[in-house]
Chain A
Amino acid sequence: MEILSAKNISFTYPLEETPALRNVDFHIHKGEFVVMCGASGSGKSTLLHLIKQEIAPHGQLAGTMFYKGEPLHNETPPQDIGIVFQDPENQIVMENVMEELLFGMENKGYRTAVMRKKVAEMTHYFGLSHLLNKRTSELSGGEKQMVNLVSVLLLDPDLLLLDEPTAQLDPIAAKEFIQTLAQLNREFGMTILMVEHRLEELFAVADRVLVLDQGMKKMDEQPREAVAMLQDHPVLQYFLPSSSRLFLHYESEVIPENIPITVREGRDWLRTKHVDSREISQIEEHSAPYLTLNEIDFQYKRNTSPILHNLSLTVKKGELLAILGANGTGKSTLLKVIAGILRQQHGKIVINGEKTKKLESGAVSYLPQNPALYFLEDTLIAEYKQIIKKHKQENGEAQIHNLLSKFGLTALKDRHPADLSGGELQKAALLGTILENPAILLIDEPTKGLDPFSKRMFGDLLGDLRNQGLTIVMVTHDVEFAANYATRCSMLFQGDVSITESTSDFFKANTYYTTVMNRISRKTSATPVITMEEAKDNWHVQKKSSSS
């Protein structure tokens, strides 16, 4: 049974000339799990918001949408469409979790007895009981997003819309969130339409994939067909699951049914193959330590528990060190201590042989988790000019223009930072930090909210900068990103660095906390690798000869 359909939807924002959506058609049946993807600016969020009438953007809408046979955008919006947004924080209205869960039901005038029953049932099912009396500001990102989901589910939606709900979450929380959605769909028949670019896990649970490109529907296929069709797309090919990309790289004849989309299918495929692999040689670099942290202790208040305890760390010149670790292990705090934002209670920090008691500006640049906070001026170019003036750099103008074209931001230089997409904003802030001409660049969680293509662009830029001799320390949750771009990785545990190894050794030694490619290639005939690039460089994949 059809629950939602759209006929020739076109939409133009006020004061814009090009339409955001052009002649989009689609149907969604009851109980389906549909994933909508596309590069940034492809109109996917616009389309999702148009379905939820209460928050539909203003503009010129042509064509009609039908929900359960009734045309949408009439007088009263349907009551059983729920939506969860991207940012976990900004969706929360009330001060504590219980009130937040009740907010929607109170708006709709439910009776107390009904609310009590529903909340009891839902919190038990989703395991939120221990959070009920907490303040919403104390929750982690994953917990916040789960509260947002449940508070929408409490209103009994028949159609659940999700607008990149895992973009701001760490990979583990994101995986959990997607599992919950899959369960809702499988066991309760919830119809789900989800905009997302973290597709590694989603392809396996989705029934259909809708692809939008520049406001037009490019594709509406089952996941395996979608993989086959997207393999040569300049941007979207990077969105595909690692298993599929590996398969597509080595198989010349592609039959959609055979394309692996999960880790398990990928491994099974690899086992049918004979892989000749070159010995992966490791180039040990012996450069001098550039930044040294010695016995650092830090705690926020005297009576709170220490965040960092007796932490020592060495960073070499020209390397990209990734610091990984779970939530709350003090990763961001460590970065702030190095940046001089927070002052350690014990221990010293030495940069290039000089002890930094007091931070002289210019030694360190810091790219924050939320790059929007980096900007003070109205346009990018104004911001950059100000940096140059402050640091009194010679031929700064030329440098700005060089970097702008290198970063692909020239066309955006007169924009307001708030009008940029996540990937553009991250690059723009990186450009600013480079102009500050630092000895060391500190980056906090750079891949939060970035789509795979933007991640790749950003990672390549970091690689270039590193090759030019910049030393980078990055804190991240993103195992894949660290594996692709870091030279060494450190694991932070209970306020101390538990291990620092070269990236390849680090991930190969881990069983659970490792990349998808490592999980696919482990225990196969191939030499284990940690990234797609490594596999492409070193593997020669053949059909297994029947004799062996």
Chain B
Amino acid sequence: MSLRGVRSFHPAVMLLYYVVIIIGFMLSQHPIFLMVGVGFLLCTQFLFDKGRQLKSWLGMILTLAAFILILTPIFNRRGNHILFYLFENQVMLEAVIQGIMIAFTLVGILLAFISLNQIITQDRFLYIFARISPQWALLSMLAVRFVPLLKRRLMEIEEIQKVRGFSVTKGSLKERVKNGMLFLQALLTGSLEQSIQTADSMSARGYGQQKRSHYQAFPMKKQDAYALLFILITGCLMIFGWWLEDSVLSLLPVLETTKLEQRECLFLANWALLLAFPVWAEGKEVAKWKYYLQKI
């Protein structure tokens, strides 16, 4: 991800952008809208780092999607079109479509969060939220940082105790549960000690005595104003489309056709435009490099 691309925009603008995208995924309950959305977000991920970050999440996202795709038709039996019978239960076309839509919504929101995580790094997060509540912003940052520390420590405890014959993977269920509890207890006492030291180190360096300043100043630039305008216009149009029910597929009482009418195509184009923003910002940089290399 280049510093001239998406990251050159003000963090607050990018945060707003992803909030609008997530709202979009929740409102636009139409398979085509959702698929277009997921498509664009995958594209963004690829432009950011060739999908490396995505790869580590892929397993989780796919299992989640598969579960929803299978379970929704089994539990949801409302609708008019019976596809087939499964163990003497009807499977409805409406429920299948519903499953697809929920799955895509979830995948879309997760992808949006992954992108957001890449763009809003720790210092940017602090910058945005420290203005609202500096104490809580830093506290939440520390809590987030604590998670990998705890994970590493727990692994150490497991390794050491494995040699001693205490394990959570072997033995009777009762033993395993008991060992697990003991490990957690050891983990917590140890970690509390550590966090006291961290707190000391923070206050020794003047934390919380006065208003913090920020090394990375993010001034609002012209491009941020344009981006903001763009996000507001396309965002409002997107919400307008939902209000008109053009970006929503109605399943009940009568199943609407998935084919798009003219006005609906217009809203789809608007949604695509909104989604294309990071693709444009990052793609521009990628293209620039390609061109630059060719010139040499």
Which A residues fall within an 8 A CB radius of B?
Answer: 52, 54-55, 79, 82-83, 85, 87, 89-96, 99, 102-112, 115-116, 137, 148, 151-152, 155, 336, 339-341, 359, 361-362, 364-366, 368, 370, 372-377, 387, 390, 418, 436
Distance in angstroms between the alpha carbons of A370 and B157 in the assembled complex: 10
Tell yes or no: B193 within 8 A of A by CB.
Answer: yes
Asked if B201 contacts A85 (CB within 8 A), the reply is yes
With A336-B159, A366-B163 known to touch, is A91 a contact of B206 (CB < 8 Å)?
no
Distance in angstroms between the alpha carbons of A148 and B197 in the assembled complex: 13
* B206-231 with Cβ < 8 A to chain A: 206-217
* B141-169 with Cβ < 8 A to chain A: 142, 145, 148, 153, 156-157, 159-166
Asked if B206 contacts A373 (CB within 8 A), the reply is no
Report chain A residues within 8 Å CB of B207: 103, 107
Distance in angstroms between the alpha carbons of A547 and B2 in the assembled complex: 79
Could you list some 29 contacts between A and B, CB below 8 A? A54-B204, A54-B206, A55-B204, A89-B194, A90-B194, A90-B195, A90-B197, A90-B198, A91-B197, A91-B198, A92-B201, A99-B123, A103-B202, A105-B213, A108-B209, A109-B210, A109-B211, A111-B213, A336-B159, A361-B164, A361-B165, A365-B163, A365-B164, A366-B163, A373-B153, A376-B166, A376-B186, A377-B182, A387-B164
Contact of B200 among A85, A103, A109, A365 (CB under 8 A): A85
Asked if B163 contacts A106 (CB within 8 A), the reply is no
Interface of B (DSSP majority class): helix
Asked if B183 contacts A376 (CB within 8 A), the reply is yes
Measured CB to CB, the nearest residue on chain A to B185 is A376
Tell yes or no: B190 within 8 A of A by CB.
Answer: yes
Asked if B165 contacts A390 (CB within 8 A), the reply is yes
Distance in angstroms between the alpha carbons of A109 and B167 in the assembled complex: 49
Task: Please indicate which of the listed interface residues B123, B163, B214 has the most CB atoms of chain A within 10 Å of its own CB.
Answer: B163
Report chain A residues within 8 Å CB of B172: none
Asked if B213 contacts A112 (CB within 8 A), the reply is yes
* B106-161 with Cβ < 8 A to chain A: 122-123, 142, 145, 148, 153, 156-157, 159-161
Asked if B201 contacts A90 (CB within 8 A), the reply is yes
Contact of B201 among A93, A99, A372 (CB under 8 A): A93
Distance in angstroms between the alpha carbons of A390 and B166 in the assembled complex: 10
Asked if A366 contacts B160 (CB within 8 A), the reply is yes
Tell yes or no: B294 within 8 A of A by CB.
Answer: no
Asked if B189 contacts A418 (CB within 8 A), the reply is yes
Tell yes or no: B205 within 8 A of A by CB.
Answer: yes
Tell yes or no: B203 within 8 A of A by CB.
Answer: yes
Asked if B205 contacts A368 (CB within 8 A), the reply is no
Distance in angstroms between the alpha carbons of A112 and B165 in the assembled complex: 54
Asked if A373 contacts B156 (CB within 8 A), the reply is yes
Asked if B164 contacts A54 (CB within 8 A), the reply is no
Asked if A87 contacts B183 (CB within 8 A), the reply is no
A57 to chain B, nearest CB (A): 10
Distance in angstroms between the alpha carbons of A108 and B195 in the assembled complex: 22
Report chain A residues within 8 Å CB of B205: 103-104, 107, 151-152, 155
Asked if B213 contacts A106 (CB within 8 A), the reply is yes
Asked if A373 contacts B160 (CB within 8 A), the reply is yes
Report chain B residues within 8 Å CB of A110: 213
Asked if B165 contacts A108 (CB within 8 A), the reply is no
Measured CB to CB, the nearest residue on chain A to B167 is A361
Measured CB to CB, the nearest residue on chain A to B202 is A93
Asked if B145 contacts A95 (CB within 8 A), the reply is yes
Task: Please indicate which of the listed interface residues A87, A99, A376 has the most CB atoms of chain B within 10 Å of its own CB.
Answer: A376
